[in-house]
Amino acid sequence: MGDKKYLLIILSLFFIKFLNLNATVLLKDNSRQLFPYKGVAELNLTYKYVENGKFTEIYDEDGKLIYIDKSYILEPEVKASTMKVKIIERESDGKKIPIVEKYYPSGNLYSITMYELKDKDEDIEKNDIKKFYTSGKLEKDIYIYIYSEVCYESGNLKKRKMQRGNKSKVETYYENGKLFEKTTMKEGKPDGKYEVYAPDGKLEESVFYKNGEVVNK
């Protein structure tokens, strides 16, 4: 049942409206495949979450720091691990879109992120998407829209984030597929309604934020 709900989510109009991508298919082995795609590059990178700085350091296969991501917070179970990264290039309306898939050490899908860039990128145009990813460009403000999902190791959806500019919407889920919490963010702070749900689907808490401060319960 959880897989069916998850598939319906992936096939929703959200992709059509914002990215015009074909569907992501959940396969029987809990891996997913985007199609059609091209320009695949695979890397084995180490991710280390720096708690006091609240950012993630990414190291290449030689142990060299290649990227500091202030927007990417690792889940507790993978705060220091080596993950395979598959970088896929998609084309939509004549525009090339980089898609980054990350995998648990077990090989199961950990996350998938799609970037809609502000301008064409030379490395992507030359199909050198490995260079694009390791150059640290994603640390800069080069995209106008990001869609990302994080999965439990079982393959079920754990978190979804949709970001446009400095505003984002974040949803997290119980492993059984039911919604746990959802909120809207602005410049990294809660801004708008924040809701928490019980495992049975009942609303447990509803709070309104403004610039990170509670204004109404």
- Domain shared by 136 and 212, yes or no: no
Residue 19 has pLDDT above 70, yes or no: no
Mean pLDDT of the chain: 74
Of the ranges 20-34, 46-60, 137-151, 183-197, which one carries the lowest mean pLDDT score?
A: 20-34
* Residue 6 covered by a domain: no
- Domain shared by 123 and 181, yes or no: no
Query: Which residues on neighbouring strands pair with residue 62, listed in sequence order?
Result: none
pLDDT tens for each residue of 67-83: 777 655 555 555 555 66
Grade residue 155 by pLDDT with cuts at 50, 70 and 90.
confident
Work out whether strand 203-210 and strand 213-216 pair parallel, antiparallel, or are unpaired. Answer: antiparallel
Q: What is the largest CA-CA distance in the chain?
A: 52
User: What is the per-residue pLDDT for 121?
Assistant: 82
User: What is the per-residue pLDDT for 71?
Assistant: 58
Query: Do residues 103 and 84 lie in contact, with contact meaning Cβ atoms separated by under 8 Å?
Result: yes
* Residue 4 covered by a domain: no
What's the CA gap between 126 and 91, in Å, rounded?
13
The whole domain housing 184 covers: 166-216
* Residue 15 covered by a domain: no
Query: Do residues 170 and 182 lie in contact, with contact meaning Cβ atoms separated by under 8 Å?
Result: yes
Residue 146 has pLDDT above 60, yes or no: yes
- Domain shared by 53 and 105, yes or no: yes
- Domain shared by 133 and 182, yes or no: no
Grade residue 14 by pLDDT with cuts at 50, 70 and 90.
very low
Give the count of domains, the chain.
2
- Domain shared by 159 and 170, yes or no: no
Residue 28 has pLDDT above 60, yes or no: no
Residue 52 has pLDDT above 60, yes or no: yes
What's the CA gap between 50 and 128, in Å, rounded?
29
- Domain shared by 151 and 180, yes or no: no
Query: Do residues 153 and 107 lie in contact, with contact meaning Cβ atoms separated by under 8 Å?
Result: no
* Residue 65 covered by a domain: yes
pLDDT tens for each residue of 93-132: 667 778 888 888 788 888 888 888 888 888 877 777 777 7
- Domain shared by 119 and 151, yes or no: yes
